Amino acid sequence: MTVHDYTERIYIGSVNRIYQLSRDLKQEDVATMGPKYDSPQCPVTQVCPNEPKRPTDYYNKALVVDYSQSKLIACGSLFQGTCTVHDLNQVSNYETPANESVVANNATASTVAFIAPGPKNLPRTHVLYVGVSYTGNGPYSPHVPAVSSRSLDPSNTFEIAHSGVTTETKIMLNSMFREIYPITYVYGFSSKGFSYFVTVQKMSTDLPRPFISKLVRVCQRDVHYYSYTEVPLVCRSSPDGIDYNLVQSAYVGKPGSELAKSLGISAQESVLFAVFAKSKDEEGIYNKPSPNSALCVYALSAVHRKFTQNIQHCFNGYGELGMDFIYPSQPCYPTQLQINDDFCGMDVNTPLAGSMAVEAAPVLRFPGVLLTAVAATSSHDSTMAFLGTSQGHLKKSGYHFIFYLISYFVFYLRRGESRSHRRAVYCSTGFQICRVPWRDGYTVYVCCLLPLETIERKEVEPCTVNKSVFRESQVLAIKQEMRTGQRLCDAFHDPSLVSFH
């Protein structure tokens, strides 16, 4: 799901459909993307006369608004993971501009895609960054890069943004390890000239090894991907030392002034909000999350510095590069080079595996709960994080308080550009969608729930909205209860009502 920043139109990618909704959740259009005749044994061109095809469902893997060209980019599992370009005003009007394998070609493998600045020598200033889990679904799946920068220029849409004699803007997995070294891509974002992916992968290619969370980074000016670097992302409590090793969701936003002060940054700087879960097994050798979660927050300036430290450490001759699952590992090569925060890679010490982690202690912990989604924003001094759970609860947490709202666990945060725009969280599962507008830290509006199958039948009535206002005296009471550790409220099941217990 994605929401247009200006029109507030909502675009939802589902099985065989892409829906276009108005801001009040009325269907405006729908694009039918499947089932279509396909086979994983066929190349992306679909020229395979001797290969039997069967009706195959379309699973949307990426949905991104390209504001520079006023188009919606949708990538799906059919035809080796190709992408289509849709009219923002009428999603059923679309084209497939290129036969390019871009995303995962099955229903379950992860894909993350976002638009950010690319190398300066390209026709377009921005490119599509894509992170893709290896699927092993057919003989052509190894051709899809793990991480790549894709062109958005109409002359070569979705092709690798830059291809040189020996290097390209992509990272391929080593054929010896791609079957046994799964990488899950969770989130992607751009910051200060770099593009980042939040991932879950093994600590190393040796078996057995625990799964950990990692940040992957490339310099946006780098046409060779020499700058490709990975650094562990750690969320660990103290003093009990619980390691929440599996990142489930992440979001980049602005902190309130009090959270910013605690992180030693200004409220104008961005932070990474991430929800983690502990592995079901104590050793962490399986990537299955347990219902034991935490929210950790990282200043992006600190993330940036930690990458610089890791790169400098390698260029001083310490640590390893290659990472085996990309290239065979070898010791870092010592140099006299001094690395600064703008370093964009060289043809030495690449790709680089940093060992010094970006680490934080949990801001909030949730025993018995599996957090699966997060979005966040700030309101004056307070920071509000909207947390989704696997059991279908949306939790709104402030830096000083928390209370439960409604059912749903995958959502998009809409931020208004002026006072006339209400800020809102759009919540969805595979079957339903809801809009939760709000104006400030103490007022919450909860919208009715709309099943997608009802939207398709065009039986949607205007949402009825109830609101619950938390005044300053109640907020002070909430803060006091948080200090004393009392339970503030319980989950409830009436989607049209916010109650405070």
Residue 210 falls within a domain, yes or no? no
34's tokens: 């499947």
435's tokens: 């809009």
Residue 197 falls within a domain, yes or no? no
- Highest mean pLDDT pick, 142-156, 203-217, 419-433: 142-156
Mind listing the pLDDT tens digit for each residue in 301-327? Answer: 999 999 999 999 999 999 988 899 999
Residue 59 falls within a domain, yes or no? yes
Contacts 24+ apart (CB under 8 A), 141-144: 141/40, 141/80, 141/105, 142/173, 142/175, 142/178, 143/80, 143/101, 144/80, 144/81, 144/101, 144/102, 144/103, 144/104, 144/105
Residue 72 falls within a domain, yes or no? yes
Residue 459 confidence (pLDDT) above 50: no
Residue 144 confidence (pLDDT) above 80: yes
- Specify the amino acid at residue 161: A
Residue 342 falls within a domain, yes or no? no
Residue 474 confidence (pLDDT) above 60: no
Please state the pTM of the whole predicted model. 0.86
Residue 355 falls within a domain, yes or no? no
Residue 480 confidence (pLDDT) above 50: no
Q: What pLDDT is recorded for position 430?
A: 53
Residue 93 falls within a domain, yes or no? yes
Whole-number Å distance between alpha carbons of 297 and 303: 11
Q: Domain with 55 in it: what CATH number? A: 2.130.10.10
Q: What pLDDT is recorded for position 478?
A: 36
Taking residues 46-75, what's their average pLDDT? Answer: 96
On the question of a cis peptide bond just before residue 145, with omega within 30 degrees of 0, the verdict is no
Taking residues 46-60, what's their average pLDDT? Answer: 95
Q: What pLDDT is recorded for position 491?
A: 28
Mind listing the pLDDT tens digit for each residue in 252-285? Answer: 998 888 888 889 998 889 999 999 999 987 776 7
Residue 27's beta-bridge partner residues? 21
Taking residues 414-427, what's their average pLDDT? Answer: 48
Taking residues 468-491, what's their average pLDDT? Answer: 36
Residue 207 falls within a domain, yes or no? no
Range of the domain at 13: 1-172
- What does the radius of gyration of the chain's CA atoms come to, in whole angstroms? 23
Q: What is the mean pLDDT of the chain?
A: 82
Residue 476 confidence (pLDDT) above 80: no
271 closest CA partner among 310, 306, 298: 298
Place 121 in a pLDDT band, splitting at 50, 70 and 90. Answer: confident
Number of domains in the chain: 1
Q: What pLDDT is recorded for position 423?
A: 63
Mind listing the pLDDT tens digit for each residue in 339-371? Answer: 999 999 999 999 999 999 999 999 888 888 888
- Specify the amino acid at residue 324: D
